[in-house]
Amino acid sequence: MAAVRELTVLYDANCPLCVHIRHWLHTQHKLVPIALVPAASFEAQRRFPDLDHASTLREVTVVGDRGHVWTGTDAFIMCLWALSEHRPRANWLSTPAGRPFAKAAMFAASRWRQAVRSDGPEEQACDDRCSVPDRLIHRD
């Protein structure tokens, strides 16, 4: 596989957990640039006309600059892989020993997401240029 130079994360803008993670990703130090685009939005469809955009609303999707597509657990691992502080964790989560933990995290997030997702358009216009409210930035 050719080196990944940029990732695009398609997130569900009507899911509070997804929006929170989008803000968190926005604040992290990245080894690989990440564009954050609402799933099934006009921008997502413009960038990736061949994707099944309905499925990107059901499952987190990450697209690499060379056309690779990761979904679900693999998308979660790729997001961590792009972050300097979390790349070692991503490498471990991609192993046979770590993968069950990544799957469990994704299962829990998916169940929670189904319980709280709204159908409203309130976040649809948000992309990676949105401001991040101070209350969502975690500072240690």
Q: Torsion-angle region of residue 40: left (phi > 0), alpha (psi -120 to 50) or beta?
A: left
pLDDT, averaged in runs of 10, over the chain (140 residues): 87 89 95 96 96 92 96 95 96 95 85 66 42 37
The per-residue pLDDT for 139 is 35
Residue 138's pLDDT is 37
Structure token pair of residue 25 = 């990703």
Encoding tokens for residue 67?
């056309």
What is the C-alpha to C-alpha distance for residues 51 and 55, in angstroms, rounded to an integer? 8
Can you give the pLDDT at residue 140? 36
pLDDT for 121 equals 46
The pLDDT of residue 129:
40
Instruction: Report the Cα–Cα distance between both ends of the chain, in Å, rounded.
Output: 36
| 69-71 β-sheet, strand order | 34-38, 7-11, 61-64, 69-71
**30 burial type by CB count under 10 A (0-12 exposed, 13-18 middle, 19+ buried):** middle
Q: Check residue 16 and give its pLDDT.
A: 87
pTM: 0.78
**What pLDDT is stored for residue 106 in this prediction?**
85
